[in-house]
Chains A and B, each alone.
Chain A
């Protein structure tokens, strides 16, 4: 899938095309220098050779891991077979900065693959995806394995219950209750930390948690309010006992764009791009077109956190433990 010959780029490169074709024969890596200014398309951004941006641009294809089951963020539309949502729009906006043109033009060059919560670090470590944009909370444990650009959004962890339930008004009420969340998520850690007596049920998908709540197997589902808002909405469409949000947030979740650890040039490029779309209003437009449709009001954009990554010795230890990088 990712070895497609970059036909369009080749065409743009003009005379360099012959060299490119020759080089493509046995080696996937872009041994060709980045396109020279004048001859190529005016919209094609320029990148220094050897950067991830140049590699993706030369390949003509970018792979982004998103959720496929989360209304508002990443939901695969069964009729069109397209993934839709805020994370998807952010992905297209990032891609547009690499391939040039508008987000919709760049969308054709983006392959969206499903990244469930527990798979996100392995996907990035193994290079199966270029980016993960999937309601991915930035935290220090994860920073040991992957890099984060952003945050591009701040969510708050909340609780979803059946609309008829009045016994749960806050996180403390979860003690002694069956609470569902997703394996490998920050929501799981937060529930365990703040309601130690809660009986935590773990599934792979938030949609399964919603089903378990509808079936009466669990008393509550806890994760970010934006995700829950989507599930409440989906439930009202599907029918059955309606759900509601308790609206007692108990932690703040900064969502970041996950990328390979140590790729600081790429991270800084993504952060620049995020600040640009915050300022231009494209971020707010993406929000209104997706999460806004679930009844959420458009918030202020967050502030990008350009943290300095752990120094080399720490990196070596984690890399040795993960052994994912050859």
Chain B
């Protein structure tokens, strides 16, 4: 016979067991008379507690309510800001999603304009939309100092490195924006979940 599930009998009686544990206890009870008797004793104890009437009489409900109504303190009107606060809690993640869309759109548009400008589609009319600096600082310094001594091959290699730096900076900036917004969104959602999963309005016991 398997181990006696004595510590689980109370939970079984209370209907709190599920799945494998429940089947294990049920199977054990089918074949163990001692545990069955133990369960019966637990049920007997529970029934005794529930059927035991209070020894003394309580104040009649009507009288209790009348006394209580007299003693109810004044309650301030519920603050109107509460609903606004709740709404703000829900609107904040939506605003973050909106911000993410805005940043994405800005990046796509900026790339499209930049590509169109580079390929000459927009001619000079969009020069003011130029997509940031075309030279990184190290490139400008290098060209100032050693530009005259470089041959064509070195010059094109350095120019390619300059482009890669600019592209890397752009991608990094975009990634940082998106990661920042995503992080804010999930932190906010976690805070919202914690806030709503805790039952509100339960006054904690006072510490004496």
A, B in one complex = no
